[in-house]
Amino acid sequence: MASELIFRGHETQPVHDAYSPKPLKPWFSITRPIRYLLRDQRLIFILLGIAIATLFFTFAPSSRNNPAPDYDSLPIPYFQHDSISTKSLPYRMPIHTQLGKVPLGIQRKGLRIVVTGGAGFVGSHLVDRLIARGDSVIVVDNFFTGRKENVMHHFGNPRFELIRHDVVEPLLLEVDQIYHLACPASPVHYKFNPVKTIKTNVVGTLNMLGLAKRVGARFLLTSTSEVYGDPLQHPQKETYWGNVNPIGVRSCYDEGKRTAETLTMDYHRGAGVEVRIARIFNTYGPRMCLDDGRVVSNFVAQALRKEPLTVYGDGKQTRSFQYVSDLVEGLMRLMEGEHVGPFNLGNPGEFTMLELAKVVQDTIDPDAKIEYRPNTEDDPHKRKPDISRAKDLLGWEPKVDLRKGLPLMVSDFRQRIFGDHKEGATST
Ligand X SMILES: NC(=O)c1ccc[n+]([C@@H]2O[C@H](COP(=O)([O-])OP(=O)(O)OC[C@H]3O[C@@H](n4cnc5c(N)ncnc54)[C@H](O)[C@@H]3O)[C@@H](O)[C@H]2O)c1
Q: Which parts of this chain interact with ligand X (CB under 6 A)?
A: 116-117, 119-123, 141-146, 166-168, 181-185, 200, 204, 222, 224, 280, 282-283
Judged by beta carbon, residue 94 or residue 123, the one nearer ligand X is: 123
Q: How far is the CB of 142 from ligand X (least distance, A)?
A: 4
**CA-wise closest residue to 405 among 314, 268, 242, 288:** 288
CB 354, CB 318: distance < 8 Å: no
Cβ neighbourhood burial of 186 (10 Å; 0-12, 13-18, 19+): buried
Judged by beta carbon, residue 95 or residue 194, the one nearer ligand X is: 194
CB 384, CB 348: distance < 8 Å: yes
Judged by beta carbon, residue 102 or residue 263, the one nearer ligand X is: 263
Q: Rounded to an integer, what distance in angstroms lies between the CA atom of residue 15 and that of residue 356?
A: 104
Q: Rounded to an integer, what distance in angstroms lies between the CA atom of residue 87 and that of residue 92?
A: 10
Q: How far is the CB of 386 from ligand X (least distance, A)?
A: 16
Given the residues 78, 190, 253, 323, the one annotated as active site = 253
Q: How far is the CB of 186 from ligand X (least distance, A)?
A: 6
Q: Is 253 a catalytic residue?
A: yes
Beta-carbon contacts of 145 under 8 Å, excluding residues fewer than 6 positions away, are: 120, 184, 185, 186, 189, 289, 292
Q: How far is the CB of 225 from ligand X (least distance, A)?
A: 6
CB 284, CB 403: distance < 8 Å: no
Q: How far is the CB of 224 from ligand X (least distance, A)?
A: 4
Q: How far is the CB of 51 from ligand X (least distance, A)?
A: 55
Q: How far is the CB of 255 from ligand X (least distance, A)?
A: 13
Q: Rounded to an integer, what distance in angstroms lies between the CA atom of residue 45 and that of residue 382?
A: 78
**CA-wise closest residue to 159 among 183, 139, 187:** 139
Judged by beta carbon, residue 149 or residue 371, the one nearer ligand X is: 149
Q: How far is the CB of 124 from ligand X (least distance, A)?
A: 8
Judged by beta carbon, residue 116 or residue 363, the one nearer ligand X is: 116
Judged by beta carbon, residue 102 or residue 119, the one nearer ligand X is: 119
Q: Rounded to an integer, what distance in angstroms lies between the CA atom of residue 132 and that of residue 22?
A: 65
Judged by beta carbon, residue 77 or residue 103, the one nearer ligand X is: 77
Judged by beta carbon, residue 166 or residue 412, the one nearer ligand X is: 166
Active site residues: 253
